């Protein structure tokens, strides 16, 4: 029996090795982040201290891979599952898509980031951190990840690249939830520039009418040695809703000024400031947001960080801009994080 157990164990080990080799040949990869921090959050009424997941980016597990189809073409896929590293809760869906790419560009289908996420998001100095004032204020109403989508990305021509997305929405026979997003970006050495326009259809939560909203973004970034200033200008106009709680017409603009600073190979900092001007909506308010962050690299995969953020809202709107969406209860307007992120 002991000999039989050794033989079975050896066969299982060999089988596992063969599976790993096959997966490696096919280009399947497992990666992700575990990101945890000690956090102090404040509202005008109270403050709380806690351990929180996802200060620099969401804790997540990702499966991805590609296959060479010949003639310069490849098939690829991504499946991401987000989780709360402080409790283990989850997973919740993030991105899941499959596609083909070659010299003609890339075509993919599934749940994907919108072109505005990539074009405006590049100019977010914090790279979409938890306290990102770009996420919390400029993308507050707008879509940046959509279900049932088809995305085409053009090849780069003279530094230009196009991104085009259309979604099927709720697939209920109406335009509810459909998104059309068109963007173009340009890269030339230290310079990045991009422009993108999103059109989204939503069902009015108080009627059966299908409403629409338009978001436009223009972004710039330029590297001066170790410092990269960034700029985002955003306009919004239309119907925005958070079913089944609130829906409203809104119109306004906001602007972001920021910078990334690579101090040396181990130390970096970033700064981001957003000013929002809502034209005439009592449910919203003019507001200013600030985020300052510092990071230290222990290695290519492990780093520690400190983030401080705050949002000052001018009035007392029915829908407040949150410093973080990773919170229950009242939206905090100040926060401090001390955390560690490990990539694998």
Closest by Cα among 21, 23, 7, 113 to 66: 23
Pick the more confident residue, 261 or 43. Answer: 261
Residue 84 domain-assigned (yes or no): yes
Q: Residue 6 has what pLDDT?
A: 39
Q: How many structural domains compose the chain?
A: 1
Q: Percent of the chain, pLDDT > 70?
A: 92
What are the pLDDT digits (tens) for 197-241?
999 999 999 998 999 999 999 999 999 999 999 999 999 999 998
Residue 4 domain-assigned (yes or no): no
Residue 16 domain-assigned (yes or no): no
Q: Is the pLDDT of residue 294 over 90?
A: yes
- What mean pLDDT is reported for the chain? 91
Residue 270 domain-assigned (yes or no): yes
Mean pLDDT of 62-67: 97
What are the pLDDT digits (tens) for 98-120?
999 999 999 999 999 999 999 99
Q: Is the pLDDT of residue 9 over 60?
A: no
Residue 158 domain-assigned (yes or no): yes
Residue 24 domain-assigned (yes or no): no
Query: Could you tell me the CATH number of the domain that includes residue 151?
Result: 2.40.160.10
Structural domain boundaries enclosing 209: 30-343
Q: Is the pLDDT of residue 4 over 50?
A: no
Q: What is the pTM of this model?
A: 0.90
Q: Residue 26 has what pLDDT?
A: 61
Q: Residue 182 has what pLDDT?
A: 98
Residue 8 domain-assigned (yes or no): no
When pLDDT is cut at 50, 70 and 90, the band that residue 14 belongs to is: very low
Segment among 117-131, 175-189, 237-251, 290-304 with least mean pLDDT: 237-251
Q: How many CB atoms lie within 10 A of CB 89?
A: 10
What are the pLDDT digits (tens) for 257-277?
999 999 999 999 999 999 999
Q: Is the pLDDT of residue 297 over 80?
A: yes
What are the pLDDT digits (tens) for 29-39?
999 999 999 99
Residue 23 domain-assigned (yes or no): no
What are the pLDDT digits (tens) for 157-207?
999 999 999 999 999 999 999 999 999 999 999 999 999 999 999 999 999
Q: Which tokens hold the place of 44?
A: 């005008």
């Amino acid at each position: 029996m002991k000999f039989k157990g050794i033989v079975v164990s050896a066969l299982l080990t060999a089988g596992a090795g063969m599976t790993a080799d096959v997966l490696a040949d096919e280009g399947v990869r497992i990666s992700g982040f575990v990101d945890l921090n000690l956090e102090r959050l404040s509202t005008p009424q109270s403050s709380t201290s806690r351990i929180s997941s996802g200060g620099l980016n969401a804790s997540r597990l990702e499966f991805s891979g590609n296959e060479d189809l010949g003639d310069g073409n490849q098939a690829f896929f991504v499946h991401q599952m987000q989780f709360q590293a402080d409790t283990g809760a989850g997973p919740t869906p993030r991105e899941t898509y499959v596609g083909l790419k070659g010299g003609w560009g890339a075509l993919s289908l599934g749940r994907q980031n919108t072109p505005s996420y990539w074009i405006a998001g590049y100019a977010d100095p914090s790279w979409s951190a938890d306290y990102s004032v770009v996420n919390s204020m400029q993308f507050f109403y707008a879509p940046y990840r959509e279900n049932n989508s088809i995305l085409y990305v053009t090849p780069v021509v003279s530094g230009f690249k196009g991104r085009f997305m259309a979604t099927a929405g709720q697939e209920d026979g109406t335009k509810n939830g459909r998104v059309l997003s068109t963007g173009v970006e340009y890269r030339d050495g230290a310079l990045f520039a991009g422009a993108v326009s999103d059109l989204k259809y939503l069902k009015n939560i108080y009627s059966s009418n299908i409403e629409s909203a338009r978001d436009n973004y223009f972004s710039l970034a330029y590297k001066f040695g170790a410092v990269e200033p960034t700029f985002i200008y955003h306009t919004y106009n239309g119907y925005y809703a958070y079913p089944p709680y609130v829906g409203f017409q809104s119109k306004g603009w906001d602007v972001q000024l920021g910078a990334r600073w690579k101090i040396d190979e181990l130390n970096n900092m970033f700064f981001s400031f957003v000013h929002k001007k809502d034209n005439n909506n009592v449910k919203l308010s003019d507001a200013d947001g600030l985020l300052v962050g510092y990071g230290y690299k222990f290695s290519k995969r492990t780093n520690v960080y400190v983030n401080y953020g705050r949002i000052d809202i001018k009035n007392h709107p029915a829908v407040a801009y949150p410093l973080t969406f990773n919170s229950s209860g009242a939206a905090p307007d100040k926060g401090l994080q001390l955390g560690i992120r490990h990539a694998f």
